[in-house]
Structure 1
């Protein structure tokens, strides 16, 4: 049986960088800066230059363009992992057809999102016979969900009215031993319960469409909640520990009156015949709905279990913090600890390159991780509770520490309070000659090696548009140490120049900047996002609002991952730094080639699944 969305009485269900690492903003864009201060070791006779990793192509249309008949369909091959494709239908191209194969009887899920006009989708068998069609009105998301046998199938996306880009997501999971497993993509998906399976396991995997009201939905509209037993997970118990193949996690559970069980994670809404239950936290910060990065990572789901803990310290090594004429930091930033003698105020000055910067890089980085939240003002941070320790290491200004000194100071502070420590470093060494190097600052390497229970989250670098493999130092240390995570940058639904993009794709702009890739790359995080903005004139605002572009580069991606890591550790402080890295890698949404690859690492970070994994380990799961 296949279920679909449909237009009333019309369609139906059928059985069926600012500059590179050195200059990560394009000089052609308003407010793009040379705010990328470099780091220099003032104690070394061999000066080492660092810059922050702040850094926006034509819509990545499917190439070659999918044909409009079965013989010219775009062939996806065997559907053995989630696929997302971004393209266009309209007056000049009325339909696109995709072909795929299933090697075994499988659960199948399809969603069509990102519409700005009315487009519909249908599923055909290998002979071209229609199995199901979804035709919701207007720009409402389309979906088809159900089970399919081994064979060849076609998906047809077609214009109903108008011209629109679309985002087509497909996934298929083999049905094994009576268990129906369904995987969502990074957008809004609808999962419909089907009879005939002892257990159904659903993973929503984040939802970049949440802010526009499209929710990851568990559709039980044919069932009354009075006939079902709910066992929803919380930080204090509930739920069912289950291993879907990539680590045991605490799933929400529903048992139906026939004994069938539905396990699920990453779901925004449960829809019964008689009521609806939400499974997310919505803070009252007015910019939250625009913070697609949080939704795409499933942070709004993970907040049900933790919003941070005082047992975890967040360290930020960056450019310092911008202040206004009264000497106050951005009001979006919580109370921040600083190192005595370190000039925490952003100097907006790169001594070694003789450059003045316009915007405070460190203000944006800290705000992504730990902005004040649920206070009815501005944006939401990922972590609402954990204390923050900020040390200025960029620019070579008076009072700046080097990265080894700063790391040790943060470690000393965390140890004195019995805290776990996550250190974010949105910085790196520019230049092709430095790609892949791990030997640039031995003193820092030694600090990392001596402190295996401190987690370092480091930007991979922004020179990936040059076409060479290799990430930036110190992110390269992820290939040597299990307590280092190297983070690349992924798009959401729109590029900086407002073209439609495929969520999760590695960001790369010819002639501007691209997320670096290569050995050691661990995870992908979102970039071009909302963040607190402070400039050298003492003015405060927000990146990604008004005429200010989103805060970008791997500088933006790293603090998104660091924030999620701090939530995972808050959910289970007994974990080691190595285990946190393993959990984030194990639960990430797979991108690129199946399993690990050096372009996407383990995939896109998934906050909800990672926190549920930490909770399961806390309950005794392996």
Structure 2
């Protein structure tokens, strides 16, 4: 054999080994570095049939389903993660990452819903499409299900509503989950204590044509509240997984996710994959950190390499960037040129968006959080107009029917095209 060829082959194998040969300790360091997490808490997935928490010094263990557990540790977090990742019975272990809302309240006047006009919603409403028949889950701080402009469009779990108080009548693990669930305390009450989730809900489905308040993208819809973000606007990986699985298992077709942070999580990606397998569309905020990269979970739409392993992009994830009143990129909005080119990102109005909050009040917020429910509502409306569409088809239709905008990737960067939601086009093309 040619000596030069052998030398080149050895060199290539050495480079490959170096590229993928992160030690377990280095992988754990990467996990701990990439985002905020709950100190002393980890999420672990075991192979089927193995014994959970074996040889792990824990204060408590919570079963998240799918052979996945959230553990509160007594011992050193890094040492425990290294130990678990060496165990052949462990599929993965990672920190219990923390997430936060993606909105910034402001004091703008509440005199118009400019975003609805910008996405050509009035013309879509003239087509009689209103949103009924498709369940949309708002995974967030909860929902103000008593708000006068939301209450008629809040999902009702009939088995619990007509059952016995204090009893898990439908056997889904949550007692009296009439309007959704709370992943923080694992109760059946998704009451909002922050306003962010209620604001998103109003953009999706503020009751239309009732003479009061605002009008959502869908006039007549069922909105499920799934709470995992607390009064401070933050929540954990553990709660996010519980919310996603609950929504999917209870029939939601569209998941609206106006939150992010934490970095790449295998556990969270797994939950979105489970939703993907059930034909569910996962709509996620691009992020508010000004840069040209998507935050997680929006970035799961793109292929990525994490700790030496490559994960393909998920085709049921649609990232949402925020546009302003002039169709420019909102100053705060994250974005991805690659995602815009591949049809995995769309833009929607996200500045001075008026919607429902706590009490019977209304407020204007900014954020990709506010852009996201415009798109989640549009997906719901499109699906109600044509239930035969798949999640991927709904995603492609929303993007392809949008209006083409030219954005700049920073003052130093090149321009690129992004599609801004056009509700009327989407509804028309869904037939």
TM-score bracket, normalised by the shorter chain, equals: 0.5 to 0.7
Question: Which runs of 5 or more residues in structure 2 are unaligned?
Answer: 1-36, 44-61, 63-68, 72-94, 156-178, 182-186, 303-312
Task: Indicate the residue corresponding to 2:428 in structure 1.
Answer: 612
Q: CA deviation at 1:599?
A: 7.9
Query: Quick one: structure 1 residues 462 and 600, their matched pair in 2 at CA, closer, same or farther if it must change by over 3 Å?
Result: farther
8 Å CA contact 1:307–1:382 kept in 2: the answer is: no
Deviation track 1:35-87 (CA, whole Å, cap 9, x = no partner) reads xxx9997753422110011139xxxxxxxxxxxxxxxxxxxxxxxxxxxxxxx
Q: What CA distance in whole angstroms lies between the structure 2 residues aligned with 1:47 and 1:445? A: 16
Query: Quick one: structure 1 residues 567 and 582, their matched pair in 2 at CA, closer, same or farther if it must change by over 3 Å?
Result: same
Query: Quick one: structure 1 residues 551 and 593, their matched pair in 2 at CA, closer, same or farther if it must change by over 3 Å?
Result: closer
Classify the secondary structure of the residue corresponding to 1:47. strand
8 Å CA contact 2:100–2:235 kept in 1: the answer is: no
Q: CA-atom RMSD, angstroms?
A: 3.2
| Larger Cα-atom Rg | 1
Question: Which runs of 5 or more residues in structure 1 are unaligned?
Answer: 1-37, 57-286, 323-327, 349-359, 415-419, 493-502, 509-513, 544-549, 616-622
The alignment status of 1:458 with 2:295, answered yes or no, reads no
The alignment status of 1:441 with 2:268, answered yes or no, reads yes
Matches within 5 A, 1:229-248: none
Matches within 5 A, 1:10-89: 43-45=69-71, 46-55=95-104
8 Å CA contact 1:457–1:558 kept in 2: the answer is: yes
Deviation track 1:306-334 (CA, whole Å, cap 9, x = no partner) reads 33343211111010134xxxxx7221113
Q: Tell me which protein shows more helix as a share of its residues.
A: 2
Matches within 5 A, 1:177-256: none
Classify the secondary structure of the residue corresponding to 2:282. strand
Task: Indicate the residue corresponding to 2:224 in structure 1.
Answer: 389
Q: What CA distance in whole angstroms lies between the structure 2 residues aligned with 1:507 and 1:425? A: 19
Please report the TM-score for the alignment, with normalisation by the length of structure 2.
Answer: 0.61
Q: What CA distance in whole angstroms lies between the structure 1 residues aligned with 2:192 and 2:286? A: 23
Q: What CA distance in whole angstroms lies between the structure 2 residues aligned with 1:523 and 1:399? A: 26
Matches within 5 A, 1:388-427: 388-395=223-230, 402-414=239-251, 421-427=253-259
Q: CA deviation at 1:387?
A: 1.1
Q: What CA distance in whole angstroms lies between the structure 2 residues aligned with 1:600 and 1:555? A: 22
Please report the TM-score for the alignment, with normalisation by the length of structure 1.
Answer: 0.43
Aligned residues: 291
Task: Indicate the residue corresponding to 2:180 in structure 1.
Answer: 339
The alignment status of 1:379 with 2:197, answered yes or no, reads no
8 Å CA contact 2:272–2:282 kept in 1: the answer is: no
Q: CA deviation at 1:593?
A: 6.1
Query: Quick one: structure 1 residues 570 and 599, their matched pair in 2 at CA, closer, same or farther if it must change by over 3 Å?
Result: farther
Q: What CA distance in whole angstroms lies between the structure 1 residues aligned with 2:222 and 2:237? A: 21
Query: Quick one: structure 1 residues 304 and 555, their matched pair in 2 at CA, closer, same or farther if it must change by over 3 Å?
Result: same
Task: Indicate the residue corresponding to 2:360 in structure 1.
Answer: 540
Q: CA deviation at 1:375?
A: 0.9
Classify the secondary structure of the residue corresponding to 1:409. helix
8 Å CA contact 1:334–1:370 kept in 2: the answer is: no
Query: Quick one: structure 1 residues 295 and 447, their matched pair in 2 at CA, closer, same or farther if it must change by over 3 Å?
Result: same
The alignment status of 1:603 with 2:429, answered yes or no, reads no
Q: CA deviation at 1:406?
A: 1.6
Query: Of the two structures, which has the highest relative contact order with CA contacts closer than 8 Å and spacing of 6 or more?
Result: 2
The alignment status of 1:520 with 2:347, answered yes or no, reads no
Q: CA deviation at 1:476?
A: 0.7
Runs of 4+ in 1 over 4 A off after TM superposition: 38-43, 396-401, 437-440, 597-601
Q: CA deviation at 1:401?
A: 6.8
8 Å CA contact 2:70–2:238 kept in 1: the answer is: no
Classify the secondary structure of the residue corresponding to 2:210. coil
Deviation track 1:255-313 (CA, whole Å, cap 9, x = no partner) reads xxxxxxxxxxxxxxxxxxxxxxxxxxxxxxxx8x7111111001100112233343211
Classify the secondary structure of the residue corresponding to 1:591. strand
Q: CA deviation at 1:504?
A: 1.3
Q: CA deviation at 1:379?
A: 1.0
The alignment status of 1:319 with 2:118, answered yes or no, reads no
Q: What CA distance in whole angstroms lies between the structure 1 residues aligned with 2:96 and 2:271? A: 14
Q: What CA distance in whole angstroms lies between the structure 2 residues aligned with 1:409 and 1:582? A: 26
